[in-house]
C-alpha cells in the first residue's frame, strides 16, 4: 500500500496530469545526497554553491512542477523504463508544494551561509534533509502532508 498523500486521500489527478509516485521519491533520494554534501561542506564556498544549486532545483520544481525537473527527466529516461507500471498516478500539486517548502529551507540556509550564519544554514539544511530522507526511504512526503492539511483546513 502506498503511503503517498493522494493515495490515502483518494485524490485523483486530472486525466493526463498524474505523475508516477516513484519519481518524487527518486528526486528525494538525489536531494538527500546533495543535502548531505552541503552539510559536509557547510561554511565553505563549496557548501554555499551547493546550497544555491539546491535552492534553484527546488525553485524549478515549485515553479515549473515536479514533472519538469531534471530529476524527473532522468527518472523518465533511465529508471522508469526498467520498472513495472505504477499502480496509480498522483496529483503533482502536493509534491510541487513540497518543493516550495524545500525552497524556503534552502533560501534560509543560503542567506545564513552568505552572512556567516553557518549554524542557521546548517539547521535549515538538516531539517530539509529529514524531510527528503522520509520521502526517499519511506515514500512519506512531509510537505505533501502539510499541503493536504492546508487544503482540508481551507475547504
User: What residues does each domain of the chain span?
Assistant: 19-154
Q: Is pLDDT above 80 for 4?
A: no
Q: Is pLDDT above 60 for 35?
A: yes
- Choose between 111 and 15: higher pLDDT: 111
- Using DSSP's 3-state secondary structure scheme, residue 81 falls into helix
pTM over 0.75: yes
Task: Find the range with the poorest average confidence among 1-10, 51-60, 100-109.
Answer: 1-10
Helix (H) or strand (E) holding 61: helix 45-64
User: CA triplet 139, 32, 94: central angle to 5 degrees?
Assistant: 45
Rounded CA separation 150/94 (Å)? 11
Helix, strand, coil share of the chain (percent; to 5): 75, 0, 25
Amino acid at each position: 500500500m502506498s503511503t503517498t498523500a493522494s493515495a490515502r486521500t483518494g485524490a485523483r489527478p486530472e486525466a493526463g496530469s498524474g505523475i508516477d509516485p516513484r519519481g518524487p521519491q527518486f528526486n528525494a533520494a538525489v536531494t538527500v545526497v546533495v543535502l548531505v554534501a552541503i552539510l559536509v561542506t557547510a561554511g565553505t564556498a563549496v557548501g554555499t554553491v551547493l546550497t544555491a544549486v539546491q535552492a534553484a532545483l527546488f525553485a524549478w520544481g515549485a515553479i515549473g512542477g515536479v514533472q519538469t525537473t531534471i530529476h524527473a527527466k532522468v527518472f523518465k529516461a533511465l529508471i522508469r523504463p526498467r520498472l513495472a507500471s505504477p499502480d496509480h498516478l498522483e496529483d503533482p500539486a502536493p509534491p510541487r508544494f513540497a518543493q516550495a517548502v524545500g525552497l524556503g529551507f534552502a533560501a534560509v540556509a543560503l542567506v545564513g551561509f552568505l552572512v556567516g550564519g553557518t549554524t542557521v544554514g546548517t539547521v535549515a539544511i538538516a531539517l530539509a534533509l529529514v524531510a527528503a530522507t522520509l520521502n526517499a526511504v519511506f515514500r512519506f512526503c512531509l510537505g505533501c502532508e502539510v499541503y493536504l492539511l492546508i487544503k482540508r483546513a481551507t475547504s
